[in-house]
Amino acid sequence: MTPPALELAPATEAEFFAIPEPDRFHELLAGELVRKAAPSGRHGAAQLRVGRSLGPFDRRADDPDDPQGPGGWRFASEVEVRLAVDTIVRPDVAGWRRERLASFPETGPVDVRPDWICEILSRGNAARDLWEKLRLYHAAGVPHYWVLDPDRRTLRVHRFTTPGYQVVLDVTDDAVVRAEPFEDLEPPVASLFDAP
């Protein structure tokens, strides 16, 4: 007779925060404690390039030095974000409209849901980003979810709709796009990746 499978209790925020901060390269995904994969060089380069490309948005919308330019956003990389009870994620890059997030907290996770998240696929996390996190981000009401794939050199842009995310852009690195919610810029998709 086969013994019944052991049912593991869901992990809690207390267990998550018991991991010392210097060692906490983890996420708590709907009660599952998951260690994030170590990023590859391609992943790290894409993460940096996404941040650079969105630089014009990372300021007040009423910047006196450039009142006509884009702005009104705050961005962070690998910051802990609490989406729900027992769900704390570390998106590769996340953005908040400044009117929703006045400043980042000094300690602990950000408790304000991001307005935009970009995950960069690694071989060790692709399925999690494409399926599990997509569902968690949708359940939390994240309006815009980008997925960059440095191996295939593609960008997929999702827009929140009530039934599920709608793919509004799915392009390769030969495209030049105005990708929501940052339509004021028109970067070549290739600029988001390390040069081949």
The pLDDT value recorded for residue 1 is: 54
User: What does the pLDDT read at residue 40?
Assistant: 85
Q: Which is nearest to 31 in space by CA: 85, 77, 86, 75?
A: 86
Question: What is the structure's pLDDT at 103?
Answer: 94
- Judge whether 117 and 91 are in contact, CB under 8 Å: yes
What does the pLDDT read at residue 19?
Answer: 95
pLDDT at site 13: 94
- Conformation bin of residue 123: beta by default, left when phi > 0, alpha when psi is -120 to 50: alpha
pLDDT, position 12 = 92
d(CA 79, CA 88): 10
Degrees (nearest 5) of the Cα angle 190, 192, 193? 75
CATH number of 40-79+90-192: 3.90.1570.10
CA distance 31 to 52: 33
Which two structure tokens, joined as six digits, stand for 167?
Answer: 């793919």
* CB distance 44 to 148 below 8 Å: no
Q: How far apart are CA 187 and CA 18, in angstroms?
A: 42
- How many whole angstroms separate alpha carbon 83 and alpha carbon 43? 24
Q: Which sequence spans correspond to the domains of the chain? A: 40-79+90-192
> Residue 144 pairs with which residues in a beta bridge?
116, 159
* pTM: predicted TM-score of the whole model, two decimal places: 0.90
* Binned average pLDDT, 10 residues per bin, the chain of 196 residues: 62 94 93 88 90 87 70 93 95 96 93 97 86 95 96 96 97 93 90 84
| Cα–Cα distance, 106 to 102 (Å, whole number) | 12
Percent helix, strand and coil across the chain, each to the nearest 5: 20, 25, 50
